[in-house]
Each structure stands twice: as structure tokens, then as C-alpha cells.
Amino acid sequence: MKKKILPLILAVTMTAVCFAGCDKSEENATPTETVNSEVQPEDSTTATQADTTIQEELDAVEATYQEKMNAIDSESATQSELNQNAADCYQLWDDELNSLWDRLSAELDSQRKENLLGEQRQWNERKETEIKNAGEEAEGGTLQPLLECSKGAQLTRERCYYFAGILAEVRGETFTVSDAVQADLDAANPTLDDVFQSFQGQYFFDAERGAVIGIEPTDECDYGMPGTTWTVWVTGGDLMSDLDVIDYTGSTIDFKTASGAYYQLGHTMAGGVSLDYGTERGVWTETIYGN
């Protein structure tokens, strides 16, 4: 039996834009919603930013982030310290994202701004879903704030680099991303194939009767479905494939079968998988857990 250990990787309602951050007033800070109903007037921070390039600005934010990440990696840190550092990382990138948007909003032409705003609303909805999914892996435990804020920081960091690239382009500045950072950004924005690979394996969920959930490349699967790339099978249950996917995040895949059944594939803290079943999208009436 193969096992996968899920790595611990560190809406929008607005006139201009809305993003989510972390409330740092609590020791175990968790994401809270903030709304910028209008673009704020230029302050001293914005004035300082005008004296630096986008490259210099992002490099400075990245350096602060890496310091926080080193603190999270410290073996001596308590859980509350880990939670707070993750919240600080999320807040750091959330503040930068809002700052970048303020300048993009002022400097983009109206059509491009409108397109980017629509895209941002969709991104924000997906981010909130990803954060929720990440927290649920802890099943209400003390790791939940760490998982939620780490996921929020990961996704928002990737979005900041995206916004920074656009703003640098508009200003005619050069903007580059190191290979190491780019690898992290790619991990925050996986393809469907990447997500399937993170689940790949066979997982016993009922050892007594030998019941298994299998997620395998179709050409390697005994139950492979013709014309598909990935096949998902459950002992005594439905067959699904990449063609049945209706949505996915970095940690979940949603399916709708020809029979009208809905499933959501997710990771568990134990390194296995969970498979939720329902007759309505997002309403799960049964869950099968792997090891």
C-alpha cells in the first residue's frame, strides 16, 4: 500500500477590492475578512514605495518573509509561536497585496483594471476555499491556525508576485523571480495533474474486507477508464476520472459522476485520503477515510 504524507506548506465585496488577512490580536491568530471599500489616500508608506523599484520592494518583503519562515522552522518554537508567525506571514503578504492593488487600480487602464478585478474576485473565493480545506485537516486541533494561515500566506505570496509583475510591466521596469521562489510560487498554483499526483496511490479504508480507494494514472490502473488520464476507484463503489472533475484546489478534487453523484477527494492528517459523497454539490452525506 502506498501512503502519501501531505506536506505542511507554508469574499471579495468592494468598490475597489477586498482581500482577507489574519487577526493578530489573538495568540492563535486565524484569518479574518477585511474590506477596503475605497482606495485609501497616499500615505508615507506609498510615498516611500515611489522611491524604490517593484523589484526592490518585493525583495524586501521576501526577506522579511524568509525571516518569519526560519522562525516557523525552529524546533524550539511553541505551537502558539508557530501559529503567530504563520499569521504574521499571512498578514505581511496580505498588506503587500492591498498595496500593490492600490497602485494597479490607479495605473491600469479602465478595461484592464475591470478584467483584473473580476479575476481577483474569483481568486479570492478560491483562496478562502483553500484556507478552509487546509484548516479542516486539523479537525479542530491546535494546528488549525497554523495550517490556515500558512495556506493563506502561500497563496497570497504567489498573488503578490503576479501583481508585482503586472505593475512592473506597466511602469516599464524589469522584474525577475529567482528559481527558488518560482518553485514555491508554482507549488501554490498547481495544475490538475499536479493535484492528482499528490493523491496518487492505493489506500485501505476497511482492512477487514480489503476495501481500497485507488488514485492511479489510467495506463497503470486495472480499472482504467478509456480516454482518461487519471482513474479514481473505490472497492464496491463508483469509478471516476479526470473527465468527471468539476473543480479542484491544491488539496481537493471535486467530481460529478454520470449518475449524478458528487464526490470530493481530500488529504487526511494521517497521510491518507478522504472521499466525501453526496447527492448535492458541497453537501456531503457520507465520508470514507483512508489511512
Q: For residues 136, 191, 63 and 91, what is the CA-based torsion angle, rounded to 10 degrees? A: -40
Integer Cα distance of 278 and 285 in angstroms: 5
Q: So what's the pLDDT on residue 20?
A: 44
Integer Cα distance of 203 and 52 in angstroms: 52
Integer Cα distance of 222 and 6 in angstroms: 26
How many CB atoms are closer than 10 A to CB 289? Answer: 16
Q: What is the pLDDT of residues 136-160, one digit of tens each?
A: 877 778 889 999 999 999 999 999 9
What are residue 188's phi and psi, to 5 degrees? -80, -10
Q: What is the pLDDT of residues 60-98, one digit of tens each?
A: 999 999 999 988 877 788 898 999 999 999 999 999 999
Integer Cα distance of 262 and 283 in angstroms: 9
Joined together, the cell numbers standing for residue 69 give 519562515
Q: So what's the pLDDT on residue 136?
A: 83
Which of 15-19, 50-54, 255-259, 281-285 is the most confident on average? 255-259
Residue ranges of domains in the chain: 17-188, 192-289
Q: What is the pLDDT of residues 111-139, one digit of tens each?
A: 999 999 999 999 999 999 899 888 887 77
Q: What is the pLDDT of residues 161-214, one digit of tens each?
A: 999 999 999 999 999 999 999 999 998 889 999 999 999 999 998 888 889 999
Q: What is the pLDDT of residues 211-261, one digit of tens each?
A: 999 999 999 999 998 999 999 999 988 899 999 999 998 889 999 999 999
Joined together, the cell numbers standing for residue 147 give 495550517
Q: For residues 170, 171, 174 and 176, what is the CA-based torsion angle, rounded to 10 degrees? A: -50
Host H or E run for residue 286: strand 286-289
CB 249 within 8 A of CB 136: no
DSSP 3-state of 233: strand
Residue 56 reports pLDDT greater than 90: yes
Q: Which residues of 23-36 are buried (b: 16+ CB within 10 A; e: fewer)?
A: eeeeebbbbeeeee
CB 251 within 8 A of CB 199: no
Q: So what's the pLDDT on residue 128?
A: 94
What are residue 143's phi and psi, to 5 degrees? -75, -15
Q: So what's the pLDDT on residue 50?
A: 63
pTM for the whole thing? Answer: 0.73
DSSP 3-state of 136: helix
Q: Which residues of 275-284 are buried (b: 16+ CB within 10 A; e: fewer)?
A: bbbeeeeeeb
Integer Cα distance of 132 and 128 in angstroms: 6
